[in-house]
Chains A and B, each alone.
Chain A
């Protein structure tokens, strides 16, 4: 469902332009509001819908196979750590869902460089950052190169 933007809600802030992975949300130069410049390259990923502070963006199912009259609306609340969905079928049936999106505060990830610097020797090993500890097993598994075979196994 390509996205579209409601004229009365959009204030031209450009959040959708910044986030769209397909680069198809642009600001109209005349009315200074966002619109979908290339609906046939829309993946309906809802990145712009979720990012819009004015809830100005919605989607309408692709005209080639989606009959009119449906609605899939979303409210993403990063601070609360949830996402909520409301689905309305063409015949009016409704379904609601809510899921968690994150268990830790935004911005709380410990940076790679905050960990103690690894030794030069460790750079030559096969272990990656935080291994073997982060594997939750004693040591990194390894193979020996002595059992090569060709042909069908």
Chain B
């Protein structure tokens, strides 16, 4: 293989392999070690776990904390909240499970050294809202990473996992993973008894609003490259609610968070003419979704819907009224530190445009769509629920095990469980970690075996873009245009354009229909074929090539799910213009998909929504 002929193959054995060292992966690692004292626990991360995942930059709030010790909330309350926000459709068993454990996670974070703000009068954690507590979280990830590093047998940074490996002795059972070191180019074969996928959700599948230098300032991290979905999809694991993309109302251009502004600082929105526009769209929304608009709090997508309609009516920009609140120096400090703690770019935008919220009410915008399982939507893998109360239809094995044996997930990876955020993702990692240790214990000597033929053929596929580039580059004098290869950035831009125009992105006002989706799938199919011709100049580009592969597969899944659900369940997130209303008769259910790796076909089905909580 010319330049890379010195590539080594490194074999790593483990009992529990954690793919992705973000919040969920760190939780999985900690818990796997706690329960599996004699187990080999290995973490593999494409960046550096000290600052990886969505929390790399820090956070200013923990958005999922019950406060059971002070009778603030019960886990049931959180399930009701998430169900209401998602228009009725959540896996209540999984959501309850996270909610009942999450307080112990947060208490550990505080013990480890995370500065949590306190209410000076009560001594309790300072609440931003009913579920949120405020933190000084610049070092949230380094603190959590310290706990994970101490728990892990080995941590492998800078290795991009591209595929999972299946057991050659038993069908539908996982046996490990493969990937490459983005610094050395060495090929890694991880052999594992259990695998926990704790990778990131999907940014950059829809065209972002900024397409120049600022394309990286997406709301969700640009390194969240849909590995959370592509890795399980390729094994044939069933996925759920992949159509349930999220659109965020945020401060313009920097996508700075609004939670503290609404909840703690008590700022509010108005249209360009100083009017509260939400009541204007009440009847319109009721027509679409019925009495879901009367629920409290109003579901996030429906508030987005009013925002979008007001903009379309020509009364934008929508602004956040900050001038009153920011006269209070304490609130002003909270407002700025909120950005500096988690979205520094918004502070830069305001400094650069002379926006001082004490004097100017800043503009808001709606983001491009993202697909994720940890924030306020619930795309991800279909997972088995907790043994003590999950309905039979939701239980086929160990807690958080997917429909593939030995394959677990947490965080963005697991579907049906909205509103877990950072603390809930870590908690779900803990749940998966304990379950994986139990699974490994129960395996005994029935150890999965990787297939040499499988990892050898994957090696060729994984490194092919380097070879393709090298050969093709000799054909041309220079530049980025080649008849023989496609650069990862070009493939990414094509993907974003297809998803934007055909699957409900910003330029289509988040709207799509069956003919558009059909055409989108045709174009995605051609893009998938073209990915065989990806060219990578170096190992960094090879990482981008595989991130693109993961994004394209996840996008195809999103498009099939969007096609399957013939209703508009979440106006404000996306619209099926050919089925503009919410339809509880036919669609009060989950959508499930399963990918067939051999044929490339997707099988769609419905699964029941069981309500466990009143």
Contacts and interface: CB of A to CB of B under 8 A. Distances in A.
Contact of B349 (A43, A61, A95, A149): A61
Interface in A105-145: 105-109, 111-113, 115, 117-118, 123-124, 126, 128-132, 134-137, 140-145
A45 B47 CA distance: 14
B30 A112 contact: yes
Interface stretch (B385-393, B455-463, B524-532): B385-393
The 9 A-B residue pairs with the shortest CB-CB distance, nearest first, are A104-B113, A62-B214, A136-B69, A134-B104, A45-B57, A66-B352, A70-B352, A111-B150, A64-B212
21 contacts: A21-B47, A24-B540, A39-B216, A41-B216, A44-B216, A44-B344, A87-B336, A89-B354, A99-B115, A101-B138, A102-B143, A109-B147, A126-B386, A128-B31, A128-B430, A128-B431, A132-B104, A143-B96, A143-B613, A144-B389, A153-B614
Q: Which one of A22, A135, A147 has the highest number of Cβ atoms from chain B below 10 Å of its Cβ?
A: A135
Nearest to A67: B352
Contacts of B610: 148-150
Interface in B468-508: none
A72 B391 contact: no
Contacts of A132: 104
A22 B216 contact: yes
Given A19-B50, A62-B212, A99-B341, 5 more contacts: A43-B216, A43-B217, A44-B344, A44-B345, A118-B34
A2 interface: yes
Nearest to B110: A103
Contact of B352 (A69, A111, A134): A69
A55 B211 CA distance: 29
Nearest to A135: B104
B443 interface: no
A136 B70 CA distance: 9
Contacts of A85: 340, 347
B337 interface: yes
A106 to B, nearest CB: 7
Contacts of B53: 21
Interface stretch (B167-175, B280-288, B305-313, B434-442): B434-442
A35 interface: no
Interface string B168-193: 00000000000000100000000000
B40 interface: no
Interface residues of A, number: 89
B238 to A, nearest CB: 20
Contacts of B351: 61, 70-72, 87-90
Given A61-B352, A123-B434, A40 B96 contact: no
A141 B99 CA distance: 9
Interface in B92-128: 96, 100-101, 103-104, 107-108, 112-115
B588 A152 contact: yes
B263 interface: no
Nearest to B390: A145
Given A41-B216, A65-B210, A112-B150, A23 B182 contact: yes
A62 B213 contact: yes
Interface string B216-238: 11100111000000000000000
Interface of B: 30-31, 33-35, 37, 46-48, 50-53, 56-57, 68-69, 74-75, 83, 88, 96, 100-101, 103-104, 107-108, 112-115, 136, 138-139, 143, 146-147, 150-151, 158, 182, 210-218, 221-223, 253, 333, 336-337, 340-341, 344-345, 347-354, 356, 386-391, 427, 430-431, 434, 437-438, 441, 540, 543, 584, 588, 608-614
Interface of A: 1-2, 18-24, 26, 37-47, 59, 61-72, 74, 76, 78, 83, 85, 87-91, 93, 95, 97, 99-109, 111-113, 115, 117-118, 123-124, 126, 128-132, 134-137, 140-145, 147-153
A64 B349 CA distance: 11
A18 to B, nearest CB: 6
Given A76-B138, A89-B351, A134-B104, A95 B336 contact: yes
A135 B48 contact: no
Contact of A43 (B114, B136, B222): B222
Contacts of A78: 139
A148 B394 CA distance: 12
A67 B348 CA distance: 10
Given A89-B354, A102-B143, A109-B146, A63 B214 contact: yes
B223 A22 contact: yes
Given A104-B113, A145-B389, A97 B30 contact: no
B488 to A, nearest CB: 10
A65 B177 CA distance: 41
A26 B146 CA distance: 25
A122 to B, nearest CB: 8
Contact of A47 (B57, B143, B540): B57
Contact of B136 (A44, A101, A108, A130): A101
Given A22-B223, A45-B56, A65 B214 contact: yes
Given A128-B434, A129-B430, A70 B348 contact: yes
B588 A66 contact: no
Nearest to A87: B351
B101 A128 contact: yes
Q: Which one of A21, A64, A74, A103 has the highest number of Cβ atoms from chain B below 10 Å of its Cβ?
A: A21
A21 B51 contact: yes
Contacts of B46: 23
Contact of B112 (A23, A61, A69, A109): A109
Given A40-B214, A43-B345, A65-B214, A145 B431 contact: no
Given A64-B212, A67-B352, A102 B57 contact: no
